[in-house]
Amino acid sequence: MTPELVTEATRYQEAFRQATQTRAADEPAWLQTLRESSFAEFERAGFPNVKQEEWKYTNVTPIARTNFVPVLTANGTALSKGADHSGLAPFIYDEARESRLVFVNGMFREELSSKSALPAGVLAMDLRAALRDDEHEKTVREYLEHPVLANGFAALNTALFTSGLFLKIPRGVSIAAPIHLLFVGEGATDAAPPAAFPRVMIVAEENSAATIIESYASPSDDSVYLTNVIIDFSLADGARLQHYKIQRESMGAFHVATTRAELGPSSAYHTTTINFGAALSRHDIHVQMDHEGAECAVDGLYMVDGSQHTDTHSLIDHRQPHCTSRQLYKGILDGKSRAVFNGKVFVRHGAQQTDAQQTNKNLLLSNEAQVDTKPQLEIFADDVKCAHGAAIGQLEDEELFYLESRGINPALARNMLTYGFAGEVIERIKIDSIRRELDDVVLNRLHTDL
Amino acid sequence: MLEIRNLHASVDGNEILKGINLKINKGEVHAIMGPNGSGKSTLAKVLAGHPAYEVTAGEVIYNGKNLLEMTPDERARSGVFMAFQYPVEVPGVSNAQFLRLAYNEKQKHIGGEELDPLEFKDLLKEKAAIVEMDASFMSRSVNEGFSGGEKKRNEILQMAVLDPDLAVLDETDSGLDIDALRIVAEGVNKLHSPDKAAIVVTHYQRLLNYIIPDFVHVLSGGRIVKEGGKELALELEEKGYDWLKTANGANATAAPQAG
């Protein structure tokens, strides 16, 4: 086949045909059926377009037009070539050195990972291996067959994922070391850009507790690749998960992610997402509170510059009484960047005693930056405590004057306030080395040293 | 050290200061008193360089330089400090970071030694003792969640760190209980020296029981209508401000919006 004849559709068709052939012997029939229907759904719907309400402000044409090649096998990559894997060093957090699970272009890499800090009984395996295991197949099947967001990206992930992670934290186990899922994107310089479709499932059994770090990084500042990831959390009674997502993809990369969390009775899911990277990023985060007494905190920060575009669609769904949700999302925009925040909080009929608070605040550092924010609170219960708000603005004159009156020059005062604006989210991350890294990124972007 | 000559200032087009004259020498403490709306807080803010206040006439000479031509940060680095009546909260920036940055900016200006976080911690500990502030306040965001009294103590802590030549205290006593008032006032006294001067802006006499002024100036309608020694403050406490307005013919209703 000559490249000129490759159209958008046939490119993914070709990959799907190849994948189907290589997997045929390997995968259960139900999964083959699911993949067929997902791919058919992708072919029918295609990539989302701006005529769809949920994609109104985010044009994914650059993704559709790029000649991505789905990664179906783990290739030898620059990172893994050194015997010491030193290429990974900048992306590893000290606290999770021995509890890290590494993925390169979406493929789980056992030899780059370390599980020695994980207590006995904690399962961390490639999702594909879990599918071949009688003990886990049923759990994985339930999760995969559970409908995800209906869009082309999600359908494509289900059709094409070839690797990922199945992580299970057994009943009553608290894991001290944070578990780091490190996704490294390596764009090819001499070939078509790769597209990764990792799929992750995290099961926290009754009264278990853990901290999950999900980070995206690239050894190159500008390489082109696509990450299209789906990550699911399932929390049983009383389980507590702390989740940090740090998105620092290459500035040439595209990042499309779905995060879902299903909260059991009296469970707690606290998540903080930091978006710094990618030319274009889209994050759908969906927290479903189907049981009483659950609580969640869904926080985030996006800081973009140049021509970056970032889009967060959040849905916090209160379906049962006595649940609490907190949301603080902040944005800092410079250059000609653009951000979208769509935050839905649903309080369903009968979800009495719901306590929900949502805030989105945006700081525009340039006249050319643009933000579209839509907090959306829909309440169908009558005994609830809910509040939401959104703000777009510049730095406060009174705050600037206060700093200046202490001898700090105006440029530094501005940077300090911007740093403080970001800090309100960053300080929620309880892992020192991540906080330091994020502080450094923010200060570096502001060309400031504190 | 400071000479204010015929100072006129307005905010949003309303003239609030209508010709202030004041001379302050090293070692002196001056109290500025007056009823609400007399312009005393405006005077403090004009000295600090608040951008909302426009000087329409007059001049202010500070150590031989034209203070009004200096930006707020230049004034601060040159030794002018205003303790705010309503200190501003700065979320996400720790007190220690903020104070070290301000301290180092001043050191740069005067050719002193800049301190790294560890060295600065020692200095901060020493200064915090002056206002009886606990170390836990240093890692917290500037003024965020502080009580009224804690905010005022934090202002005096900043003053202690920056070691100004001219301190302007804008209603530092407002909202303080008697213990906090004592701590704040003692802090100010400890920081005073024959090389320094202070302007204490206050509505009530009670702060002046702790910080003894050399001179008391009474503002009304944007002008100084009476001056005297510390005993004038006691007289005002007894008689109130009304008798001054009529006695001096000042326009008592001139500027109700000024604080």
Examine the pLDDT at B258 and tell me if it is beyond 80. no
Domain B2-248 class in CATH = alpha beta
pLDDT tens sequence across B156-166? 999 999 999 99
pLDDT at B143 over 50: yes
Q: What is the pLDDT of residue B203?
A: 85
- pLDDT over 60 at B145, yes or no: yes
Reported confidence tier of residue A9, pLDDT bands at 50, 70, 90? low
- Return d(Cα A389, Cα A423) in angstroms, integer: 20
A413/B73 CB distance under 8 A: yes
- Given this model, what pLDDT does residue B250 score? 46
pLDDT of residue A8: 55
- What pLDDT was estimated at residue A2? 41
Strand B90-94 to B141-142 pairing: antiparallel
Chain B partners within 8 Å of A406 (Cβ) = 73, 76, 98, 102, 158, 162
**A130 part of a folded domain:** yes
As a residue count, chain A comes to 450
User: How confident is the model at residue A84, as a pLDDT?
Assistant: 62
Domain coordinates in residue numbering, chain B: 2-248
Angle between helices B148-162 and B178-191 (to 10 degrees): 10
C-beta separation of A393 from A364 below 8 A: yes
Cβ atoms of A187 and A106 closer than 8 Å: no
d(CA B20, CA B222): 7
* Mean pLDDT of all residues belonging to chain B: 89
- CA-CA distances (angstroms) from residue B166 to A340, B58, B76? 48, 20, 9
Q: What interface predicted TM-score (ipTM) does this complex get?
A: 0.92
Read off the pLDDT of each residue in A195-220 and give the average, rounded to a whole number.
97
- Percentage above 70 pLDDT, chain B: 94
Model pLDDT, residue A1: 40
B168-182 residues labelled b (16+ CB within 10 A) or e (exposed): bbbbbbbebeeebbe
CA B240 – CA B246 distance, rounded (Å): 12
Same domain assignment for residues A265 and A409: no
Q: What average pLDDT score do residues A213-232 get? A: 95
Average pLDDT over residues A310-321: 97
Predicted pLDDT of residue A81: 60
Cβ pair A402:B84 closer than 8 A? yes
Per-residue pLDDT at A5: 45
Interface probe, candidates B88, B107, B155, chain A, greatest A C-beta count within 10 A: B88
pLDDT of B149 over the 90 cut: no
| Domain end among A278, A312, A340 | A278
Last residue within a domain, chosen from A251, A278, A305: A278
What is the C-alpha separation between A185 and A146, in angstroms, rounded?
A: 28
Banded pLDDT at A394 (limits 50, 70, 90): confident
Q: What is the pLDDT of residues B184-220, one digit of tens each?
A: 889 889 999 999 999 999 988 888 888 889 999 999 9
> Which residues of chain A lie closer than 8 angstroms to B165, CB-CB?
none
Residue pair B144/B90 in contact by the 8 Å Cβ criterion: yes
Question: Which residues from chain B sit within 8 angstroms of residue A420, using beta carbons?
Answer: 90-93, 141
Q: Which of A278, A302, A327 is the last residue of a domain?
A: A278
> Domain for residue A304, yes or no?
no
Of the candidates A273, A265, A268, the one whose C-alpha atom is nearest the C-alpha of residue A291 is A265
In a domain, A404, yes or no: yes
Mean pLDDT of chain A: 92
Give yes or no for residue A204 having a pLDDT over 60. yes
By CB atoms closer than 10 A (0-12, 13-18, 19+), residue A410 is middle
Predicted confidence at residue B36, as pLDDT, reads 85
pLDDT at A6 over 70: no
Average pLDDT over residues B219-238: 87
pLDDT at residue B169 greater than cutoff 90: yes
Q: At residue B121, does pLDDT exceed 80? A: yes
Q: What's the Cα-to-Cα distance from A364 to each of A53, A263, A336, A348, A409, rounded to whole Å?
A: 25, 35, 10, 34, 20
Size of interface A-B (CB pairs under 8 A): 82
Which tokens hold the place of A47? 């990539």
| Beta carbons within 8 Å of A125's beta carbon, 6+ residues apart | A133, A165, A166
**Dist. CA A4–CA A145, nearest whole Å:** 37
Q: How confident is the model at residue A309 (pLDDT cuts 50, 70, 90)?
A: very high
The three state secondary structure string of A155-212 is HHHHHHCCCEEEEEECCCCECCCCEEEEEECCCCCCCCCEEECCEEEEEECCCCEEEE
Q: In terms of Cα–Cα distance, which of B192, B222, B233 is closest to B29?
A: B192
A7 pLDDT tier (thresholds 50, 70, 90) = low
CB neighbour class for B29 (10 Å; exposed up to 12, middle 13-18, buried from 19) = buried
Tell me whether residue A288 is in a domain. Answer: no
A408 vs B158: CB contact, 8 Å cut-off? no
φ and ψ at residue B21, rounded to 5 degrees: -125, 130
Q: What is the pLDDT of residues A229-281, one digit of tens each?
A: 999 999 999 999 999 999 999 999 999 999 999 999 999 999 999 999 999 99
Whether A422 is in a domain gets the answer yes
pLDDT at residue number B246: 54
Among the residue ranges A5-14, A76-85, A408-417, the one predicted with the least confidence is A76-85
The pLDDT confidence band at residue A396, using thresholds 50, 70 and 90, is confident
- Cβ–Cβ of B49/A405 closer than 8 Å? yes
CB-CB contact of B103 with B117 (8 Å)? no
Partner-chain contact A409 B162, CB within 8 Å? no
Q: Would you say residue A188 lies in a domain?
A: yes
Domain housing A438: 395-450
Ramachandran sector of residue B216 (left: φ over 0; alpha: ψ -120 to 50; beta: rest) = beta
Higher pLDDT, A74 or B135: B135
Domain count across chain A: 2
What are B's interface residues with A at a Cβ cutoff of 8 A? 48-52, 71-73, 75-77, 81-82, 84, 87-88, 90-93, 97-98, 101-102, 105-106, 109, 141, 158, 162
Q: Greater confidence, A274 or A86?
A: A274
Determine what percent of chain A is predicted with pLDDT higher than 70. Answer: 94
B257 has a pLDDT exceeding 80: no
Q: Give a yes or no: residue A57 inside a domain.
A: yes
What is the average per-residue pLDDT within A22-36?
88
- pLDDT, average across residues A348-352: 94
B46-94 pLDDT tens trace: 999 999 999 999 999 999 999 999 999 999 999 999 999 999 999 888 8
